[in-house]
Amino acid sequence: MLRELVIERAATHGERPVRLLLHAYAGDRIDSALEDFLRAAAGASQADLVVWAGHDRLMDRPPPGIQPLPGATPRPVAVLACMSEQFFGPVLQSLGAQPVVLTRTLMAPEAYLLEALASVAARHSLSEVAALRIALVDAYARYQRISRRSASSVFSKGWPHETSSAPRQ
């Protein structure tokens, strides 16, 4: 791990404070980052939400042999990476993790999406998947300068409703 960064988002009226703990890994350590993420998703973390934001490493290699942790509570997760529903979805399901955000297409996993997640966490419950999706779609459309309709095609419509073994069109 190159760096650990803590960001605290102050609460405004009607919100609660949100604390983000970011782990930045060297590019040649992406497999270690993936294993750490999957362990956290399986319950090795007490985070309210565990997020992967970056390259979809599972497009390049088989999943590591991470198993559900006995006695641990799997965590809610968001995977901001290309086609994460297809590649991460089955792995997360096998760990008992609770995906609240997955993607269906190629995408840019940029920091403004973390801000959108933090804003929803401050105002709503992370179990409000519709609010999460709307915030992500709005942010993606704005910063990518694309239509809301195009941005909407990036994010899965709901989870867990199905695990697709083939990309949706």
Supply the pLDDT for residue 166: 38
What pLDDT score does 99 carry? 93
CB burial of 74-100 (b: ≥16 within 10 Å; e: otherwise) equals bbbbbbbbbbbbbbbbebbeebebbbb
Backbone angles phi, psi at 150, to 5 degrees: -65, -45
Q: If you average pLDDT over residues 112-133, what whole number do you get?
A: 89
Inform me whether the pLDDT recorded for 101 exceeds 80. Answer: yes
Q: What is the pLDDT of residues 128-161, one digit of tens each?
A: 888 999 999 999 999 999 999 999 999 998 655 4
Q: What percent of the chain has pLDDT over 90?
A: 72
